[in-house]
Amino acid sequence: MPALEMAQESGKILSWLKKEGDTITKGEPILEIETDKAVVEVEATGAGVLAGVKSHAGDVVPVGVTIAWIVAPGESPPADAPAAAPTARKLSEPVQAAAAPAAPAAQQPEPRISPKARKLAKERGVDISRMRGTGPGGVISAEDVLAAAEAPQQAAAPAALSAVARLMAERMVQSWTQVPHFFLVREVEAGALVQARERLAPEIERSRGVKITYTDLLVALIARVLKKHPKLNASWSGNAIQPNAHINISLAMAVADGVVAPVIPDADGAALVDIAARRIELSERARGARLRPADIAGGTFTLTNLGMYEVDAFNAIIAPPQAASLAVGRIAERVVAANGQPAVRQMMTMTLSGDHRVVDGAQGAAFLNELAAAIGAPAQWLDAK
């Protein structure tokens, strides 16, 4: 079991992507593991044949314990071999003394049930694993299933949080209770942003096969504006402000059981098409619960866009140790004053969340002002990259 994170003590095997006897190449994903922070794919550290699989889906294994072997073709894995063996190479070298694996729980026998009763249980949604049959030899009968279906249902047990949901809950509580948040709200005319997408998207999709979204445009503009406002891209290190040498934009993404924030690194120097391609890649991995540790590491500023959900405005919680986060609502037509007259414009609301230990209101306002100007004239910021 590899150590994928600092202070990791164990990992849960979600699935093997290769089966025993398969030929694998170095760097090829071979299994999925859940840690306290993410679900990640583990790559083979060498080429050979997967053999001697000791742990399976659902097993929680201490770091350093052998879960399988990579052997040469025709070679057999050692039977109950010690950690170091001369004829085979483990998937990962142990990084700490391995704790003794817990004794496996006794496996529950498959309930004995008649075919008719099994069909009824599936139709009525009855859990047969908790039933005792009244038929010969304890067989669950159709009558047993009907009686269970009509019996008052007990309150469902609280659902256990997944690793992603648990981590999100812990971090949000930590941030909200320990970080002195302040919020600045700014409405900005987004007509030029809409025009920029209409102008750039068809050509980029035709030439590169990549679809450009408003999120991609905002990532590019935010990153470029942050170069002029380094305090917004800094971090709180515990008792001091830590400047960040890179501008890495974290993108908040909804997944089945929470929110993850994969990172677009060095976004200030990245071309718009490369930002879009990276976002698409991260989105696909996030939806498939296949984000890697490197995908979620190193973020210096977070963008949360809920415009696609028809949200007008909202406040975002800062992801420590970052100093700021930007929440963006939908682009919608609104009646505003223009040269003393009512006019319909495409407007968007931005809310900046700031850590008051790192940045103050005036610095946050200056950043929002320049970002609003960039959204009003995106061509001046994007065409060069």
| CATH code, 134 | 4.10.320
Is residue 21 over pLDDT 70?
yes
The mean-pLDDT minimum among 35-39, 54-58, 332-336 falls in 35-39
Assess whether 253 and 305 both reside in one domain: yes
Buried b (16+ CB within 10 A) or exposed e, 246-259: ebbbbbbbebeebb
- Residues 139 and 208 grouped into a single domain: no
Per-residue pLDDT of 179-203, as tens digits, reads 999 999 999 999 999 999 999 999 9
d(CA 32, CA 164): 14
Q: What total number of domains does the chain contain?
A: 3
pLDDT of the residue at 270: 95
Same domain, 310 and 371: yes
Task: Give strand ranges (E) for 276-340.
Answer: 301-305, 324-328, 332-338
Mean pLDDT of the region 39-44: 80
**pLDDT tens-digit map of 71-123:** 999 888 887 554 433 334 444 433 333 333 444 444 455 677 877 878 888 88
Predicted confidence (pLDDT) at residue 205 exceeds the cutoff of 80: yes
Asked whether residue 273 falls in the same domain as residue 209, the answer is yes
**CATH number, residue 16:** 2.40.50.100
With a cut of 50, say whether residue 326 has pLDDT above it.
yes
Q: What is the DSSP string of 169-197?
A: HHHHHHHHHHS-EEEEEEEEE-HHHHHHH
Residue 110, in any domain of the structure: no
| Bond into 321 cis (ω within 30) | yes
Where is the domain boundary, 98, 123, 150?
Answer: 150
Q: Where are the beta strands (DSSP E) in the chain?
A: 10-16, 23-24, 29-34, 39-43, 48-51, 60-62, 69-71, 89-90, 181-189, 235-236, 241-242, 249-251, 253-255, 258-260, 263-264, 301-305, 324-328, 332-338, 341-355
Same domain, 298 and 368: yes
User: Please, what is the average pLDDT of the chain?
Assistant: 84
pTM over 0.75: no
- pLDDT above 50: residue 129: yes
Q: Are residues 53 and 138 in the same domain?
A: no
Are residue 172 and residue 306 in the same domain, yes or no? yes
Q: In the prediction, which pLDDT does 41 show?
A: 78
Asked whether the predicted pLDDT for residue 51 surpasses 70, the reply is yes
Kindly state whether residue 292 falls inside one of the protein's structural domains: yes
State yes or no: is 356 an active-site residue: yes
pLDDT higher than 80, residue 293: no
**Does residue 99 lie within any of the structural domains?**
no
Cα–Cα dist 57/32, whole Å:
9
Pair of tokens at residue 172: 């949000």
Q: Is residue 103 part of a domain?
A: no
Q: Over 50: is that where the pLDDT of 281 sits? A: yes
Residue 218 tokens, joined: 């905002």
Q: Clarify whether residues 196 and 335 are in a common domain.
A: yes
Instruction: Specify whether 195 is located in the same domain as 324.
Output: yes
Q: What's residue 219's pLDDT?
A: 98
> Which of 56, 181, 246, 356 is labelled catalytic?
356
Nearest of 2, 84, 18, 74 to residue 50 by alpha carbon: 18
- Amino acid letter, 213: T
**pLDDT confidence of residue 153:** 58
State residue 144's pLDDT score: 83
pLDDT for 108 equals 52
pLDDT of 284 over the 90 cut: yes
Cβ atoms < 10 Å from Cβ of 49:
21
Domain enclosing residue 49, as ranges: 10-90
- Whether 130 shows a pLDDT value over 90: the answer reads no
Cβ atoms 246, 235 nearer than 8 A: no
Same domain membership, residue 223 and residue 123: no
- Residues 172, 257, single domain; the answer is yes
Tokens coding 223: 């990153």
